[in-house]
Structure 1
Amino acid sequence: MRTYERTHPWLNFSLDLRTLPPHLWALLGEVASKCDHVAGVPLDPEVAKYIHHVYLAKGALATTAIEGNTLTEDEAKAYLDGKLDLPPSREYLGKELDNIVAAFNKIVAEISQKGPRPLSIQQLKDMNKQVLRGLKLEQSVVPGQLRRHPVVVGRYRCAPYEDCEFLLAKFIDFINGFSAPAGMSPIYSVLKAIIAHLYFVWIHPFGDGNGRTARLIELHILLSSGFPQPTGHLLSNHYNLTRQEYYRKLDQARDPNGGVIAFIDYAVRGFWEGLVDQLELIKGQQWRVAWINYVHEQFKGKNSPADTRRRVLALALSEQEKAIGKNAIRTLTPDLAQLYAGKTTKTITRDLNRLSEMGLVKKENNRFISQREKILAFIPWRHNSRQSK
């Protein structure tokens, strides 16, 4: 008998799917459906690039923040955009992000160039090596090499180091053998990614960077299964947003009476919530582009100075979340400041009235707001339906 069989009996490399409750199967189906929606959304390339960048930054920050990275989301975005120089005392935080982004990009490049491939031990070692590249580590930690010493994380004593190589081989066989029935591939891929994360963290085969490596494995499995790139970062983001619950669920997952199922339920629910938010962001971007096109269509063939001014004003108001007072119009954007230079307040009033007549702007308590909801064809029906109840 190997040591881990006595000390870590939960490392049994099995998952009885018959124990999954009906609500979890339903939620998995919704996750698969929403991922299909994300994959099938037509987007302007610049908008798609923006959304990809947003979730790349979220994913990179999330997986490092769980391990203690203290950069804010805005700082992470600015750093990845090359717009933030960190002081020497915080340079390592940027290095952690760089390592994760490089690992993300490598996974994407390998899948796009060579297609999906089964996981291998060497792949896991390479992931860990990339995660820890150039960071200051304990003397006993060698990036990409299995640990040769006991490790305790919080209250959890990780699997015996002498069994790590054996356990990693079993892990690879288990995950690569996790096949789906016909038509169930997306649902099983989510289960596979989550259970791979859980088992890898339990084994903890490397001296450092195991959590980050586990989340890279999740990403690899999801992207290999055809999930859109932005969705691949949602699990990491969920774990980070609910960090205390994440650790609690990891700790409880060792309970033979439903602990694993509880962790899967927690992860899938967070995945679903992240997809809801992601689809809202995508819908908002589509709405914005559609409105811009609609405004331009309303001014088609109208090129007078007044029409040009009104078109710019309509577009500027559409970028505002709240109604704007007439006196703030001039300073709303640099373009408007230039267009209204030397004009009286009467000109602004005429322009707003004309936009209101065109149905592009509406007045609310002597303030003005874009009427973007005009192009949401079914919103009035839903609104009236709710009022009639």
Structure 2
Amino acid sequence: MNKEVSTFHAGRFLFNAGGGANRSKLAEAEGTLFLAGRLPVFPDTAGGIFLNLEKRALYAASELAGNALSLSETESIVNSDESLFGEDSRAVRLFNFGRAYAALSAQEKCENFLIDENFITSLNSVLEKKLSNEPANYRNHPVSAFEKQFSKPYSPPETKLDINLLMKSFYEWINSPEIISCGIVTRASLAHLCLIRIYPFAGSSEALARLTESFVYKAAGIGYVPYLLSTVYKESTDYFPILERYTETGDPSEFIDFVCGIIVDSLGEIQKKSLDIVAEEMFGSYIRRLLETKEISERLSGLINILKKRGSFRQSELQLMKEFTALYGGVSRTTVRRDIVRLSELGLIKDKGNEEYTLNRDILFGR
């Protein structure tokens, strides 16, 4: 799964698949992503996390790249006519970011999504349009990267000969069945990290790496995450230190764990709330179906509606307490007992002892 390449000038380069990543965290994150593609998220349960997410992601990506403008200024430039920018390189770069994110939004689900030379050079051409004379060509000179973000600048491989070799090896490795079988989180993270470490282009290599990661999620049919990551990276105090440690060690495990935490923390709680809503709706639908097929009476349906709020009851309370008397005030104890037996037979209540019963919402889960 790991792959070592001997370069001409930069020594040995190890493509490390992150075998040291926390397996349980990775499984939880992959499970969260599995649900993300299938579970509807109710806007009122998500709070502000997904509000204008695509716009905020574009802004975060541009700020990570060093283009410090306000959200409204960034949006204004992205929506302008590119002919208006003249020699304003910052405006051109922001406009290019907008085009790159438009391509991300347009990316459809693709089971065989390849991170190949055509994809990488095309994406870099979008990011570097009107900014570079050779936007799709690998660099052939040294660069000093992350001068402000790292404790000391990072010096990636310097020659085009090495970069050509490393990128060819990267394409073979990242698209191999072994890496694809590692899962979406691992493959997306490895793409991000390897492109950072190789730093193939003179311009926009960092933005290219983050966007490639997002494209992997988008092509897998995952919602929210392709845009969420850049907003979290921008706010996080851990992102750049973890990247720096990766460039020093070549071990992606810490970064993979970091991304797993982002996915679970951001989506997990929202999914739990959405699942609770879905389960409640399904339970209500099941009760309506039982009523329509005359498996339960109107009186039992009314009792269940009360128990949705109350949770439990005692047999004696049905004929004595005000909230139940509209249903049971005028019936015999035999009828009360018969109704309790019927709900028990259907698994809709559980006997807690001492004539106390609780509503069993877990009936839909076989419990």
Q: TM-score, normalised by structure 1?
A: 0.57
Structure with more contact order per residue of length (Cα contacts < 8 Å, sep ≥ 6)? 2
Gaps of 5+ in 1: 291-380, 382-389
Check whether the contact 1:57–1:76 (CA below 8 A) recurs between aligned residues. Answer: no
Check whether the contact 2:18–2:256 (CA below 8 A) recurs between aligned residues. Answer: no
The answer for the alignment partner of 1:125 in structure 2 is 121
The answer for the alignment partner of 2:285 in structure 1 is none
- Greater per-residue helix proportion: 1
Secondary structure of the structure 1 residue equivalent to 2:183: helix
Structure 1 88/269 Cα, relative in aligned 2: closer, same or farther at 3 Å? same
Structure 2: distance between partners of 1:81 and 1:32: 35
Structure 2: distance between partners of 1:73 and 1:269: 26
Counterpart code for 1:164:
I
The answer for the alignment partner of 1:101 in structure 2 is 98
Structure 2: distance between partners of 1:241 and 1:90: 30
Structure 2: distance between partners of 1:98 and 1:53: 22
Equivalent of residue 59 in structure 1, options 50, 57, 60: 57
Secondary structure of the structure 2 residue equivalent to 1:111: coil
The answer for the alignment partner of 1:150 in structure 2 is 142
Counterpart code for 1:29:
A
Equivalent of residue 207 in structure 2, options 204, 212, 230: 212
Structure 2: distance between partners of 1:12 and 1:43: 40
Check whether the contact 1:107–1:220 (CA below 8 A) recurs between aligned residues. Answer: yes
Report how many residues are paired: 265
The answer for the alignment partner of 2:344 in structure 1 is none
Structure 2: distance between partners of 1:8 and 1:265: 28
Structure 1 80/277 Cα, relative in aligned 2: closer, same or farther at 3 Å? farther
The answer for the alignment partner of 1:198 in structure 2 is 193
Identity %, equivalent residues: 21
Displacement after TM superposition at 1:272 (Å)? 2.9
Structure 2: distance between partners of 1:51 and 1:101: 21
Structure 1 167/54 Cα, relative in aligned 2: closer, same or farther at 3 Å? same
Structure 2: distance between partners of 1:278 and 1:212: 28
Counterpart code for 1:14:
N
The answer for the alignment partner of 2:150 in structure 1 is none
Please identify runs of 4+ aligned residues in structure 1 that moved more than 6 A: 50-53, 87-91
Alignment of 1:158-197 (within 5 A): 158-161=156-159, 162-179=161-178, 188-197=183-192
Structure 2: distance between partners of 1:248 and 1:133: 30
Structure 1 264/132 Cα, relative in aligned 2: closer, same or farther at 3 Å? same
Displacement after TM superposition at 1:233 (Å)? 1.7
Gaps of 5+ in 2: 148-152, 282-357, 359-367
What do residues 177-236 of structure 1 show as CA deviations (whole Å, max 9, x unaligned)?
Answer: 15468xxx6x711111101111111101101100111112111211222212x2212222
Displacement after TM superposition at 1:121 (Å)? 0.7
Secondary structure of the structure 1 residue equivalent to 2:15: coil
Task: Give me the CA root mean square deviation.
Answer: 4.1
What do residues 95-143 of structure 1 show as CA deviations (whole Å, max 9, x unaligned)?
Answer: 434322322332453535x7643121121011011011234x5xxx621
Check whether the contact 1:253–1:259 (CA below 8 A) recurs between aligned residues. Answer: yes
Structure 1: distance between partners of 2:226 and 2:199: 22
Check whether the contact 1:254–1:260 (CA below 8 A) recurs between aligned residues. Answer: no
Structure 1: distance between partners of 2:107 and 2:101: 10
Displacement after TM superposition at 1:31 (Å)? 2.4
Counterpart code for 1:246:
Y
The answer for the alignment partner of 1:306 in structure 2 is none
Structure 1 73/268 Cα, relative in aligned 2: closer, same or farther at 3 Å? farther
The answer for the alignment partner of 1:336 in structure 2 is none
Equivalent of residue 68 in structure 1, options 66, 69, 85: 66
**Further displaced range: 87-96 or 233-242:** 87-96
Displacement after TM superposition at 1:163 (Å)? 0.8
Kindly name which structure, 1 or 2, has the bigger radius of gyration based on alpha carbons.
2
